[in-house]
Amino acid sequence: MDIAKMTIRSIEQLFLAGTPDALTLDALRQDQRLAVQRILARFERTQQERQRVDALYSYEYQAQQESLQYVAGVDEAGRGPLAGPVVVAAVILPIGLFLPKINDSKKLSAKMRDTLYDLIQEKAIAVACSVIDEKTIDRINIYQATINGMYESIFSLHPEPQKVLIDAVPLDRLSIPSLSIIRGDAKSASIAAASIIAKVTRDRLMLKYDEQYPGYGFAQHKGYGTAQHLAAIRKLGPCPIHRRSFEPIRSMQ
C-alpha cells in the first residue's frame, strides 16, 4: 500500500474500517501531509482513551473471570447538601463497553455528564435510580437514607446483578457478592456510570426546585452550602426542601 498516493478521504476511510496494521501506521507517521498527521493524532488520542476506559473495567474483568456477567456499580449524589434529596443509582454495563470520557461525575462538565447520561441509558444492560427525599433524610439520617437507597436501587435492577461494586459504603445485608471500593467512581466504569446517572438525575430535580422555590439559587449550587445559599437561607428562611436536621438550618428552628 503506497500511502503517499492515497487521498485524505481514502486514509479517513482506512481508519473508519478499523485499526490499520503496524506497517500502515508506520507509513502514515512518515507522511508529511498535515491532514494525515491530524487524522493520525486523532486516532492515537482515541486509542489512549480506549486504554484508559478499558483500565476502569479491572474489577468487572475480574468478575468475568469468575463467570459473572452482570456486575452492578452503585453510587450516590447529594449526601452533603443542605437541601433536596439524596439520589442513588445502580447500573449494569456490558463489560468492556467503550464510553468515551467516562469518569467520576465530579470530574466531568455538566454537558459531558448529560452526554454520558444518554449513552448509559441507551447502552446499559440495566439502570435503576432511587430518590430519597429530605423528610426521610431528617427522620432516619443521611447515612441510613443513602444505604436504603442503595438497596432499593440494586433490588430494582433487571436482570438481577451477580456482583455489586459500591463506592466506599459497605452493604452488610446484601446477599449478592459485593465489594466496597474507596473512590470507586474513579476506579470502576460501572460505579462511574452510576455516579453520572445519580448526579444528572439530582441536578435536574434541583433545577425544577429552583423554579418552585425561587430566590435560593438551587440552579447554581444544587443545594450545597455555598455562601450564596447560606445568605438566601438567612434572608428567606428555610423552604420545604431544606434538611431540618442539617446545620445551620437545625439551629434556626
**pLDDT at position 39, please?**
92
Check residue 16 and give its pLDDT.
84
pLDDT at 1 over 90: no
What distance in Å separates the CA atoms of residue 109 and residue 107, rounded to the nearest whole number? 7
Dump pLDDT digits (tens) for 69-103: 999 999 999 999 999 999 999 999 999 999 999 99
Interatomic CA distance for residues 23 and 126, integer angstroms? 41
pLDDT category at 17 given cuts 50, 70, 90 is: confident
* Selection from 142, 39, 129 nearest residue 87 by Cα: 129
**Residue ranges of domains in the chain, CATH in brackets:** 3-54 (no CATH), 58-208 (3.30.420.10), 209-252 (no CATH)
Rounded distance, CA 35 to CA 183, Å? 41
Q: pLDDT tens-digit profile of 101-119?
A: 999 999 999 999 999 999 9
Mean pLDDT of 31-42: 92
CA distance 40 to 3: 13
